[in-house]
């Protein structure tokens, strides 16, 4: 054994020297490789490792020219085939990498050597071996398989059709001569399509490794750029891929790292495609998608705690994307319908309705559909979605056509139908924007049909003078106040609709530099309400007419107070946020010197008065509330003291005082006094 070891060591050393030689003088490379091929498969495992790496390096290196590589490729197929049965990850990685380099070379060779079935069979055997490894091998090998598959797809699909742009050095299906005995175009093409599907499915599987996902993404851009027939499918798959989709319950550092890395890889890839081809028909959707990703990422960064709502949002997004894709892809490719239908087609003489004026669809089923059956928000969604996706040229053409019709109608005014309503001056504006392409997909048609539905009884009238909206009536103070209160009530009703996240997880990680109420969640609305009460609605104007019932801020405060005590256990955080704001506002106002009654103490005592009688021993969370108050006056401590006198709840009271004494140095003395008094006088 030792002797064997020694020989293989010596062999390795020799091989290492040989490698150094060819690195220094690549001219020797073919010679050295030919010389080592027999050793590679027969030698010890160390030698086979070295051999696999050396093979991969040979076909990778730019210093060996293509002609030499072609000769070597044919010579080393046997070796590759034998090495592909090894079980070591490292060897397999090199074998697959090497095969990815060799495949186009051999394919080219077969194209010009019609009868070399032997070579082709070996290559096919290697290919099927690698494709079987793709499912079962360790990740490291599978990453290499992905590259191999990309090479196979490149070779076995059609490139640019424009003969001026064809790259002669590139291997593709166009290289295959007609009637080749070994290479059948349809089956090669079909195999490539199948492999592409399998490749893209990596993006949409439930539990794909992030390693495989990024590797796949980084392989797609070259396919899109050099294989236009495949572009649409690939881009569709990438746009439907949501890096944030599999957001787990709790986001670990690794989840976050993987998500932002995958997202960034998608973005770099899409930008690369866009930059290289500004004219791509997908440009609009790609840039939209990039924006959406940025948004989703911002949400992820903004707060880990809102992950659940973010996921559902994302899911909705990706679902919508899929729907979009289904409805938009069919019309991404057809050439623009140059000859638009005759503007006056379908326009019978006689009274013209809005519906007739704007209906460009020729399908009677679509024109007879009554859009009013649809719920308004669905219509809005359809309109917005359609406007985003509509082809600008088609829209312009459609607008021009409606304009032409309109002018034609104007030129031959029909006899006014009895009882017809004059045309509302502002009506045509939005509807013109809704007019879509001549053969609209479902969405567009619905919108137009709806426009038609409304307009059925309206008959086009003639003169459209300039129209100005009259200025709104100015509101009285009472009305304004009433409106404000209504708005406030709506905000309160919104808060309860949000899912309650736990107090701890909700805290934003961004610290003081974050913008308050930057996201429209529960916390955001609470901030808005609280700040409206404390700083927002100025009480200065009302103070002068103090005879008046109550100022708006006070009403708002009262409302907040009611809201908190209605369910104080769940709304303790609101109380803390509010009282802190009051205190802060008191401080800033008093330092600015405006005479003003401090609000903090008044409302704090009011809230505490309402809460304390209902506290139970289990309300330990209240201790936290107490400790988060910005200022604790002695009066409050006396309330707590009363709590201590209740035998049922005394332990809670004592604990509160104890905690305050321990962790709240400013009130330590007072707390100790209270405790001492309790000890001396009551127990």
> How many C-beta neighbours within 10 Å does residue 14 have?
12
Q: How many Cβ atoms from other residues are within 10 Å of residue 31's Cβ? A: 13
> Residue 57 Cβ, how far from other proteins at the closest point, in Å?
7
Minimum Å gap between C-beta 132 and other proteins is 12
Here the tokens at position 413 are 């005014």
| Minimum CB distance to other proteins, residue 573 (Å) | 27
Q: Which is nearer to other proteins, 13 or 291 (CB)?
A: 13
Among 257, 393, 480, 645, binds other proteins (CB under 8 A): 257
Q: Give the list of residues 6+ apart from residue 611 with CB closer than 8 angstroms, or none.
A: 565, 568, 622
CB-nearer residue toward other proteins: 97 or 303: 97
Distances (CA, A) of 138 to 204, 411, 565: 20, 76, 60
100 near other proteins (CB under 8 A): yes
120 Cβ contact partners less than 8 Å away, ≥ 6 residues apart: 106, 110, 182, 183
Segment interacting with other proteins (CB under 8 A) among 258-266, 303-311, 366-374, 554-562? 258-266
- For 404, the 3-state DSSP assignment is helix
Binder of other proteins out of 62, 334, 364, 472 (CB under 8 A) = 62
214 vs 386, beta carbon nearer other proteins:
214
Contact between 261 and other proteins by CB under 8 A: the answer reads yes
Among 171, 265, 311, 431, binds other proteins (CB under 8 A): 265
Q: Which is nearer to other proteins, 59 or 358 (CB)?
A: 59
Nearest to 398 by CA among 370, 357, 369, 367: 357
Binder among 6, 63, 124, 510 for other proteins (CB under 8 A): 63
Using CA atoms, how far apart are residues 338 and 508, in angstroms rounded to an integer? 55
Which of the residues 26 through 45 are near other proteins (CB under 8 A)? 26
Q: CA dihedral in degrees (43, 47, 49, 55; nearest 10)?
A: -90
Q: Of 209, 194, 75, which is closest to residue 141 (Cα–Cα)?
A: 209
228 binds other proteins (CB under 8 A): no
Stretch that binds other proteins, among 81-89, 287-295, 361-369, 663-671 (CB under 8 A): 81-89
- In 277-306, alpha helices (H): 283-302
| Shortest distance (Å) from residue 220 CB to other proteins | 9
Q: Does 218 bind other proteins (CB under 8 A)?
A: yes
Q: Which of 76, 153, 247, 258 binds other proteins (CB under 8 A)?
A: 258
Give me the half-sphere count of Cα atoms (radius 13 Å) on the Cβ side of residue 485. 14
Shortest separation between residue 100's beta carbon and other proteins, angstroms: 4
Binding span for other proteins by CB under 8 A among 86-94, 386-394, 435-443, 635-643: 86-94
Is 644 a binding residue for other proteins by CB under 8 A? The answer is no
State which of positions 598-637 bind other proteins (CB under 8 A). Answer: none
Which one, 62 or 186, has the nearer CB to other proteins? Answer: 62
Q: Stretches 22-30, 518-526, 607-615, 627-635: which one binds other proteins (CB under 8 A)?
A: 22-30
Binding pattern for the stretch 138-177 against other proteins, x by CB under 8 A and - elsewhere: xxxx-xx--xx--x--------------------------
Residue 54 or residue 354: which is nearer to other proteins going by CB? Answer: 54
| Interface with other proteins, residue 10, by CB under 8 A | no
SS3 (DSSP) at 459? strand
Q: Which stretch binds other proteins (CB under 8 A): 269-277, 458-466, 555-563, 622-630?
A: 269-277
Contact 233, 161 (CB under 8 A): no
272 touching other proteins, by CB under 8 A: yes
215 vs 640 by CB, closer to other proteins: 215
Q: What is the dihedral of CA 472, 460, 379, 374, to 10 degrees?
A: 110
**Minimum CB distance to other proteins smaller for 20 or for 570:** 20
Which of 8, 11, 28, 90 touches other proteins by CB under 8 A? 90
Helix 89-112 to helix 45-60 angle (10° resolution) is: 40
Contact 594, 641 (CB under 8 A): no
Q: Which is nearer to other proteins, 41 or 211 (CB)?
A: 211
User: Is residue 569 a contact partner of residue 539, using CB atoms and an 8 Å limit?
Assistant: no
Residues in the chain: 683
61 binds other proteins (CB under 8 A): yes
- Decide: 111 and 183 in contact? Cβ < 8 Å: yes
3-state secondary structure of 421: strand
List Cβ neighbours of 49 (8 Å cut-off, separation of 6 or more): 88, 90, 91
For residue 625, the minimal CB distance to other proteins (Å) is 31
Q: How far apart are CA 519 and CA 313, in angstroms?
A: 14
Using CB under 8 A, which residues numbered 192 to 211 contact other proteins?
209-211
Buried b (16+ CB within 10 A) or exposed e, 186-211: eebbebbbebbeebbebbeeeebebe
Q: Which residues pair with 458 in a beta bridge?
A: 421
Which residue's CB is nearer to other proteins, number 171 or number 389?
A: 171
- State the nearest-atom distance from the C-beta of 321 to other proteins, in Å: 23
Q: With CB under 8 A as the rule, give the number of residues binding other proteins.
A: 54
Minimal distance in Å, beta carbon 313 to other proteins? 24
If the CB atoms of residues 92 and 397 are measured against other proteins, the closer one turns out to be 92
Minimum CB distance to other proteins, residue 89 (Å): 5
Alpha-carbon distances, residue 427 vs 223, 422, 464 (angstroms): 49, 11, 11
Q: Judged by CB under 8 A, which of 79, 101, 314, 481 binds other proteins? A: 101
Residue that has been written with the tokens 């009262």 in this structure: 558
Question: Per rule CB under 8 A, is residue 268 in the interface with other proteins?
Answer: yes
- Can you tell me the distance from the alpha carbon of 429 to that of 156, in angstroms, rounded to the nearest whole number? 52
Q: Segment contacting other proteins (CB under 8 A): 51-59, 281-289, 373-381, 432-440?
A: 51-59
| SS3 sequence of 179-222 | CCCCCCHHHHHHHHHHHHHHHHHHHHCCCCCHHHHHHHHHHHHH
Q: Which of 386, 341, 339 is nearest to 361 (CA)?
A: 341
- State the minimum distance, in angstroms, from the CB of residue 75 to other proteins: 19
Least Å distance, CB 290 to other proteins, is: 13
Q: How is residue 390 annotated by DSSP?
A: S
DSSP state of 173: G
| List of residues contacting other proteins (CB under 8 A) | 20, 23-24, 26, 56-57, 59-63, 87-90, 92-93, 97, 100-101, 136-141, 143-144, 147-148, 151, 209-211, 214-215, 217-219, 221-222, 252-254, 257-258, 260-261, 264-265, 268-269, 271-272
């Amino acid at each position: 054994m030792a002797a064997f070891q020694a020989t293989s060591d010596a062999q390795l050393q020799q091989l290492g020297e040989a490698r150094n030689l060819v690195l220094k003088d690549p001219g020797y490379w073919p010679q050295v490789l030919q010389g080592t091929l027999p050793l590679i498969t027969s030698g010890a495992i160390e030698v086979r490792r070295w051999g696999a790496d050396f093979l991969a390096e040979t076909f990778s290196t730019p210093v060996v020219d293509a002609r030499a590589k072609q000769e070597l490729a044919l010579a080393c197929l046997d070796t590759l085939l034998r090495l592909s049965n090894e079980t070591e990850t490292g060897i397999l990685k090199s074998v697959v990498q090497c095969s990815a380099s060799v495949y186009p070379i051999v394919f080219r060779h077969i194209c010009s050597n019609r009868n070399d079935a032997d070579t082709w069979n070996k290559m096919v055997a290697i290919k099927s071996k690698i494709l079987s490894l793709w499912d079962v091998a360790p990740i490291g090998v599978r990453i290499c398989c992905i590259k191999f598959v990309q090479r196979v797809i490149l070779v076995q699909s059609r490139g640019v059709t424009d003969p001026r742009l064809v790259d002669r050095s590139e291997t593709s299906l166009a290289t295959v001569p007609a009637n080749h005995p070994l290479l059948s175009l349809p089956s090669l093409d079909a195999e490539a399509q199948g492999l592409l599907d399998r490749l893209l499915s990596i993006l949409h599987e439930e539990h794909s490794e992030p390693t495989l996902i990024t590797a796949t993404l980084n392989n797609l851009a070259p396919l899109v750029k050099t294989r236009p027939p495949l572009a649409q499918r690939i881009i569709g798959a990438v746009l439907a891929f949501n890096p944030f989709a599999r957001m787990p319950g709790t986001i670990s550092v690794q989840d976050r790292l993987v998500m932002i890395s995958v997202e960034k890889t998608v973005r770099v890839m899409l930008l690369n495609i866009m930059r290289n081809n500004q004219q791509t028909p997908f440009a609009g959707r790609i840039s939209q998608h990039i924006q959406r990703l940025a948004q989703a990422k911002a949400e992820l960064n903004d707060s880990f705690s809102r992950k659940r709502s973010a996921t559902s949002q994302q899911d909705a997004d990706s679902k919508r994307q899929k729907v979009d894709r289904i409805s938009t892809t069919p019309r991404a490719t057809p050439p623009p319908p140059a000859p638009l239908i005759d503007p006056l087609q379908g326009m019978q003489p006689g009274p013209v309705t809005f519906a007739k004026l704007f209906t460009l669809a020729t399908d009677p089923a679509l024109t007879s559909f009554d859009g009013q059956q649809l719920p308004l928000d669905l219509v809005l969604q359809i309109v917005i979605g359609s406007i985003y996706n509509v082809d600008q040229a088609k829209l312009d053409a459609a607008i021009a056509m409606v304009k032409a019709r309109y002018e034609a109608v104007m030129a031959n005014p029909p006899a006014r139908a009895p009882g017809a309503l004059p045309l509302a001056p502002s009506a045509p504006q939005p509807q013109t924007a809704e007019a879509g392409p001549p053969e609209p997909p479902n969405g567009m048609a619905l919108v137009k049909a709806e426009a038609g539905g409304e307009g059925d009884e309206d008959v086009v009238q003639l003169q459209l003078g300039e129209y100005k909206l009259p200025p709104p009536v100015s509101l009285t103070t009472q009305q304004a106040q009433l409106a404000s209160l209504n708005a406030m009530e709506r905000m309160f009703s919104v808060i309860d609709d949000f899912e309650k996240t736990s107090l701890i997880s909700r805290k934003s990680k961004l610290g003081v530099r974050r913008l308050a109420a930057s996201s429209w969640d529960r916390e955001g609305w609470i901030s808005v309400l609280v700040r409206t009460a404390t700083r927002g609605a100025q009480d200065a104007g009302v103070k002068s007419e103090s005879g008046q019932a109550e100022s708006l801020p006070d009403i708002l405060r009262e409302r907040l107070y009611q809201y908190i005590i209605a369910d104080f256990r769940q709304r303790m955080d609101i109380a803390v946020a509010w009282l802190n704001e009051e205190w802060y506002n008191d401080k800033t106002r008093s330092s600015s010197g405006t005479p003003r009654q401090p609000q903090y103490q008044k409302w704090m005592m009011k809230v505490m008065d309402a809460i304390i009688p209902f506290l139970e021993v289990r309300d330990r969370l209240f201790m936290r509330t107490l400790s988060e108050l910005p200022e604790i006056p002695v009066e409050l401590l006396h309330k707590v003291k009363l709590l201590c006198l209740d035998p049922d709840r005394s332990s809670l009271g004592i604990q509160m005082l104890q905690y305050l004494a321990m962790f709240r140095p400013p009130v330590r003395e007072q707390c100790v006094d209270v405790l001492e008094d309790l000890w001396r006088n009551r127990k």
